[in-house]
Structure 1
Amino acid sequence: MSRMIFVNLPVADLPASLAFYEAIGGRQNPHFSDETAACMVLSEAIHVMLLTHGKFRQFTPRPVADARAASEVLLCLSLDGRAEIDAVVDRAVAAGGRADPGPPQDHGFMASRSVEDPDGHIWELMWMDPAAVPPASPAA
């Protein structure tokens, strides 16, 4: 079985967060969603669990972090090109996100922009030219 990642994020307004994650390409899995949680599938391997604060507190004794006041995680999602990065940022902003909380970067072979969801979680959206990745050197 291939590995999967489930990113669990506390959210204050589940419908607003659902709209944001649909805008960046997620689709809701109704089997793991209810009025306190939404499972958003970004790929076969990547799922984002949007949990109301009450639901999130069921999984940890620690306080729920305010993502606007402190860094809790660094999230990065690869996309297929610069145009897709811009399109996803535009859709995310239209769904209540904030574009470019960090400066856009362009290194020629790699480009990125970031977008903040309605709760302050920042997603870095990046593209890298696979042809620019140097081949691995053989083991000595």
Structure 2
Amino acid sequence: MNSRSNIRLRILSEPIPGMTNKMIFVNIAVKDLPKSRAFFGALGYSFNEQFCDETAACLVISESIFAMLLTEPKFQSFTSKPLVDAKQSTEVLIALSCESREEVDAQVAKAVAAGGATYNDPQDHGFMYSHGFQDLDGHIWEVFWMDPSAIAQA
């Protein structure tokens, strides 16, 4: 492993001072909110209905991580920058950890079965295994598994 990998593993395995109880809400523009809800539901995710309406859906990723699926007009109301087509360009790579290699493969298979697509081949780095999918709007979701013993050794 190079020093950059060691730093990344150290950050993942050590608490960051002052960062407890933080939550993250990733805002994502979608063309068809009902279809996006169905897509992520097929992957096994749920929604916090308190924060859902005809313009937004709060996708629950974990206790402290959420993705706000916003219709394009709703998303556009938060920024003066123009929207980009995620199928033509990449703004972000959303990376989510999995419990095993099998879960990585299962998530990608579910995404493809629900109408998404893969955009690369699985990557096996020994200590880390990853693959990813594009959702219905072309946003890239990386799913990965890291060997816990590699984290402990770092």
User: Do they fold alike, i.e. is TM over 0.5?
Assistant: yes
**How large is the RMSD of aligned CA atoms in angstroms?**
1.3
Query: Aligned residue for 1:89?
Result: 108
Trace 1:9-24 onto structure 2 (pairs within 5 A). Answer: 9-24=28-43
Task: Describe the superposition over 1:62-81 as per-residue Cα deviations: whole angstroms up to 9, x where unpaired.
Answer: 11111111110111000000
**Residues 23, 88 of structure 1: 8 Å contact kept:** no
1:134 is displaced (CA, Å) by 5.2
2:65 and 2:44 map into 1 onto residues whose CA distance is: 12
Q: Which runs of 5 or more residues in structure 2 are unaligned?
A: 1-19
Q: Which amino acid is 2:136 matched to?
A: P
2:146 and 2:88 map into 1 onto residues whose CA distance is: 30
2:39 and 2:27 map into 1 onto residues whose CA distance is: 15
Q: Which amino acid is 1:43 matched to?
A: S
Structure 1 or 2: larger strand share?
1
1:103 is displaced (CA, Å) by 2.3
2:60 to 41, 44, 55: 41
Where does structure 1 differ by over 3 angstroms across 4 or more consecutive aligned residues?
Answer: none
Structure 1 or 2: larger helix share?
2
Q: Does residue 64 of the first structure (1) align with residue 67 of the second (2)?
A: no
Q: Which runs of 5 or more residues in structure 1 are unaligned?
A: none
2:140 to 122, 131, 136: 122
Q: Does residue 133 of the first structure (1) align with residue 151 of the second (2)?
A: yes
Q: Does residue 26 of the first structure (1) align with residue 39 of the second (2)?
A: no
SS across alignment from 2:142: strand
- Normalization by structure 1: what TM-score? 0.91
- Normalization by structure 2: what TM-score? 0.83
2:98 and 2:67 map into 1 onto residues whose CA distance is: 17
Corresponding pairs, count: 135
